Amino acid sequence: MRFAIFASGSGSNAARILQAVQSGDLEGVPQFVFSDRKDAGVLFKVEQYNVTAYQFSPKEYESKEEYEEALLKLLKEHRVEWVVLAGYMRLIGDVLLRHYEGRMVNIHPSLLPSYPGLDAIGQAIDDGATKSGVTIHYVDRGMDTGPIIAQQSLSIERGETKEQLTTRIQQLEHQLYPKTLQRVFKEGEAYQ
């Protein structure tokens, strides 16, 4: 499967996915990594994997539609079959969903439907939750509302800080995301 990774942040999940491709644990062909932020760590992290990186900001465009048209053009040029969101911090709009709904996957640091959106780990701690985890889901028009593909949970330890829980959740993400993508790519069929 030809796929692209979209990321806005440090790129730890993107790097783990690319490692899985290199090791043969993930049978896919990464076409490029895209970031909407020029200072995103992911742009530097992917250099060692010999994968093309692109960056442009939505602020460079008149509208969200125009921004997504530019992304769609890039995806079509590279004949991308699947889009993998790995810490991409923007809601996907109609332009991309028209072409990739059912073939766009996201990872989220909570047990959805609990704690969608930003700072899910902080939300869980502030709420006094005893469990958290990771959810991998198809992307739809809502915020973290698409059909769930896989989840893995962990207990929140008493007195655990946000940083400690974040580290443990990232470890789960790094194990679960490549395995789940392998399954999804192997099945090869988009969610309908």
* Structure-token pair, residue 132: 């958290």
Residue 25 lies in a domain: yes
pLDDT tens by residue, 125-159: 999 999 999 999 999 999 999 999 999 999 999 99
Residue 161 lies in a domain: no
Residue 126 lies in a domain: no
Residue 129 lies in a domain: no
Q: Report yes or no: 154 and 132 within 8 Å, Cβ to Cβ.
A: yes
Q: Has 5 been labeled as part of a binding site?
A: no
pLDDT tens by residue, 88-118: 999 999 999 999 999 999 999 999 999 999 9
Q: Report yes or no: 41 and 14 within 8 Å, Cβ to Cβ.
A: no
> What is the percentage of the chain residues whose pLDDT exceeds 90?
95
Q: What is the mean pLDDT of residues 60-71?
A: 97
Report the alpha-carbon distance of residue 47 to residue 186 in Å, rounded.
27
* Structure-token pair, residue 63: 């509208």
142: DSSP letter: S
156: DSSP letter: P
Residue 124 lies in a domain: no
CA torsion 28-139-162-40 (nearest 10°) is: 60
Residue 96 lies in a domain: yes
Beta-carbon contacts of residue 45 (< 8 Å; ≥ 6 apart): 10, 11, 12, 14, 15
Average pLDDT of the chain to the nearest whole number? 95
Would you call 108 a catalytic residue per the annotation?
yes
- Whether this model's pTM surpasses 0.75: yes
Q: Looking at the predicted structure, is the pLDDT value of residue 192 above 50?
A: no
pLDDT tens by residue, 166-179: 999 999 999 999 99
Helix (H) or strand (E) holding 68: helix 64-77
Q: Has 89 been labeled as part of a binding site?
A: yes
User: Letter for the amino acid at 86?
Assistant: A
CATH number of domain containing 97: 3.40.50.170
Check 78, 108, 137, 174 and give the catalytic one.
108
* Domain range enclosing 67: 2-111+135-153+172-187
Residue 47 lies in a domain: yes
Report the alpha-carbon distance of residue 36 to residue 39 in Å, rounded.
9
Name the domain count of the chain. 1
Residue 166 lies in a domain: no
Q: Has 64 been labeled as part of a binding site?
A: yes
Q: Has 57 been labeled as part of a binding site?
A: no
pLDDT value at residue 187:
84
Cβ count near 81 (within 10 Å)? 18
